[in-house]
Structure 1
Amino acid sequence: MSSAPWLETDVSLKALNTFGLPATARRLARIREDADVRRVLDSPEVGRAAKLVLGGGSNLVLTRDVDEVVLKVEVGGLRLVQTRDDAFIVEAGAGLTWHDVVTETIARGWPGLENLALIPGTVGAAPVQNIGAYGLEMADRFDSLDGVDLVTGLGITLNRAQCLFGYRDSVFKNVLAGKAIITRVRFRLPRPWQPVLGYLELERKVAETGIAEPSPRQVHDWICGIRRAKLPDPAVIGNAGSFFKNPIVSEDQCRDIIGRDPHVVHYPMADGTFKLAAGWLIDACGWKGKSIGRAGVYEKQALVLVNRGDAIGAEVVTLAKAIQESVYGRFGIRLEPEPVVL
């Protein structure tokens, strides 16, 4: 038994990761404010131990029990920090569910996050992964964040430039990996609001409905409808959302692949490169609906791997590697997983 009453021991993580994979945390501390982090760091028992920051567990594949001290982020609170002529600055606690914040900000008259509706996970995980969907990335709406340095225990504040955002990437996935915990995130929501509709499926919604100037709530509802039609609900079928990043290739590489397979789904990028649809590549290799053990590829979207019932992390990893080998063999492209494999 732990001598520290705030330190939980032998905690099952199965309900704390959206894949529903079995694993046990030897020690877990719940973080509801910055002082909770400092209490862990000052502890003679676990202060110097390795740490694992856990939000909604939506970007995690657990293949083992966790010896690291799990810091379960549960910081709450949503508030308007500032109303400027050009933007609302809104702050959200890192432990809040991302989709709830998207919905609530629209309800309170602070729109701008609607294209990112229904992405699983917490607010604190959003900058780490630089989540994105339907023509918008979190970095496009980011202002700054607060956190705690896991080495010194000191509070930190980072602006957008300091976060080094890239495609599903940030400073928290490299330089600051395991060295900082995010406690609050501030968003810059532009005024006046303008819908972001430059995405094929949204353009189709405009054409189908005849609504050329949708409201924030309308865009939110469209996004939710599109996502629900092709992506499984983690509460029903265990998954971690999109499992692989859409690969970025050069113009020459894209031309070569089109030459071999004219139907490949590709999008031009501002820097002259091309983004390929990873889901299309996986589907073209015949993986949609297939399984290895109890881990499978979702029938409606090949980019999503699912837990078909009592899967273990090793089965998910085996399936992912088989898909990677298959896509590389046919297209010469190495798919990179989005989730962290632990």
Structure 2
Amino acid sequence: MLIQKNWPLIDFNTFGFNVTASEFISITDIDQLKELFDSHQLKRTDIGILGGGSNITFTTNFEGLLLRNEIVGKTTIDENSESAIIEFGGGEPWHGAVLHALSLNLGGIENLSLIPGTVGAAPIQNIGAYGVELKDVFRSLSAFHLPTGEIHHFDANSCEFGYRDSIFKREKRGNYFIVSVQLKLSKNASIKTQYGDIQSTLNAWEIAKPTIHDISKAVIQIRESKLPNPAEIGNCGSFFKNPVVSSEIIPALRVQFPDIKTFPAGMGLTKVPAGWLIEKAGWKGFRRGDIGVHAKQALVLVNYGNGTGQEVIDLAHEIQADILSKFGIALEMEVNAW
């Protein structure tokens, strides 16, 4: 098994930062992980796990052993008249998993079309969009425990899913390499059109009774119209989480900002779109050198070519401080900084 030295990562992070990993290996099967464990490589404290690189901001070169998840595979585990359980390799591209489900006429993840990254990274983040989250269809995952070399299995409860959150971003952070994920997908999925511009897009297409395929096409068109293609402009998609705040502070904010956008989040909580806050504060389209805020979507920070990860993080901190000052709301980064 070959461990690459000083491996360039410019093609392995969607921001396109020109950084390197001092040691790098592509993991294509569990046997490689077992071999690394047996050789005591996994006892190191400088190990990183990389999926699609679409939720990472490298602030400098990675000094350590970087494991890239390239375990692929798509298998139907169980099926009945109402649903099917599909197991995907952790290194499968997420959008590829969506397309596979659609090819089998299985619904549940069509609203998550075109989200970048891998299947293995999806439960870590509990990815979500347009009214759907991964946890809605999640059945289980299998993960290699780096400290012990054991395969552990997690159901939805043990993953402790939250808003863009799971146990793998907290207590289990960095301890597990996700080998496979099982999703329970429906043959009679309920169509969700009430979020974002899905319904208006369908109306423009004169589609009165949309299928899961129509929803996917609509989501793809919406995302492509609003979000920059990382192949053209480096970015990680949504950089900040939508803050969830006490509903008690909303009336005062609405007096000051009558056009504030809000969504109920349950139990006396309200979600405020981070993109609206950033745009209202005047950051949309901001540029400093090769780093900036996208002109069409204020939630997206971008690298126009030769920017650095540290410059992106510095800009993010400036935006956070400004939003806190103007609105009294703390923004949390969705992207991980390394």
TM over 0.5: yes
Question: Partners of 1:223 and 1:45 in 2: how far apart?
Answer: 42
Work out which of the residue numbers 36, 40, 45 in structure 1 matches 2:36: 40
- How many matched pairs? 338
Equivalent residue, structure 2, for 1:107: 103
Partner amino acid, structure 1, of 2:301: L
C-alpha contact (below 8 Å) 1:240/1:339 kept by paired residues: yes
Partner amino acid, structure 2, of 1:17: N
Equivalent residue, structure 1, for 2:286: 290
Indicate the larger mover: 230-239 or 83-92.
83-92
C-alpha contact (below 8 Å) 1:96/1:123 kept by paired residues: yes
Equivalent residue, structure 1, for 2:209: 213
Deviation at 1:325, TM superposition (A): 1.2
Unaligned runs of 5+ in 1: none
C-alpha contact (below 8 Å) 1:78/1:92 kept by paired residues: yes
C-alpha contact (below 8 Å) 2:50/2:69 kept by paired residues: yes
Deviation at 1:218, TM superposition (A): 0.6
Deviation at 1:310, TM superposition (A): 1.1
User: What whole-Å deviation, never above 9, does each CA across 1:263-314 have from its counterpart, x for those lacking one?
Assistant: 1111112333111010010001111111123111000000000101111111
Equivalent residue, structure 2, for 1:260: 256
C-alpha contact (below 8 Å) 2:24/2:67 kept by paired residues: yes
Equivalent residue, structure 2, for 1:7: 3
Structure-to-structure mapping, 1:32-181, within 5 angstroms = 32-44=28-40, 47-181=43-177
Equivalent residue, structure 1, for 2:309: 313
C-alpha contact (below 8 Å) 1:128/1:171 kept by paired residues: yes
Deviation at 1:91, TM superposition (A): 0.8
Q: 1:200 to 1:308 in 2, by over 3 A?
A: closer
Partner amino acid, structure 2, of 1:31: I
Q: 1:88 to 1:46 in 2, by over 3 A?
A: closer
C-alpha contact (below 8 Å) 1:46/1:69 kept by paired residues: no
Work out which of the residue numbers 299, 305, 311 in structure 1 matches 2:295: 299
Confirm or deny that 1:326 pairs with 2:322: yes
Partner amino acid, structure 2, of 1:91: E
Equivalent residue, structure 1, for 2:225: 229
Structure-to-structure mapping, 1:245-284, within 5 angstroms = 245-284=241-280
Deviation at 1:130, TM superposition (A): 0.5
C-alpha contact (below 8 Å) 1:292/1:315 kept by paired residues: no
C-alpha contact (below 8 Å) 1:149/1:155 kept by paired residues: yes
Percent of aligned pairs with the same amino acid: 39
User: What whole-Å deviation, never above 9, does each CA across 1:205-240 have from its counterpart, x for those lacking one?
Assistant: 343334232111111000001111110111111100
Deviation at 1:47, TM superposition (A): 4.1
C-alpha contact (below 8 Å) 1:40/1:47 kept by paired residues: no
Partner amino acid, structure 2, of 1:338: E
C-alpha contact (below 8 Å) 1:265/1:276 kept by paired residues: yes
Deviation at 1:59, TM superposition (A): 0.4
Question: Partners of 1:90 and 1:23 in 2: how far apart?
Answer: 36
C-alpha contact (below 8 Å) 1:131/1:137 kept by paired residues: yes
C-alpha contact (below 8 Å) 1:128/1:172 kept by paired residues: yes
C-alpha contact (below 8 Å) 1:22/1:62 kept by paired residues: no
Question: Partners of 2:236 and 2:196 in 1: how far apart?
Answer: 24
Partner amino acid, structure 2, of 1:300: K
Deviation at 1:334, TM superposition (A): 1.1
Deviation at 1:41, TM superposition (A): 1.8
Partner amino acid, structure 1, of 2:159: C
Q: Secondary structure at the match of 1:182?
A: strand
Unaligned runs of 5+ in 2: none
Question: Partners of 2:85 and 2:239 in 1: how far apart?
Answer: 31
Deviation at 1:45, TM superposition (A): 5.3
CA RMSD of the aligned region, Å?
A: 1.3
C-alpha contact (below 8 Å) 1:163/1:170 kept by paired residues: yes
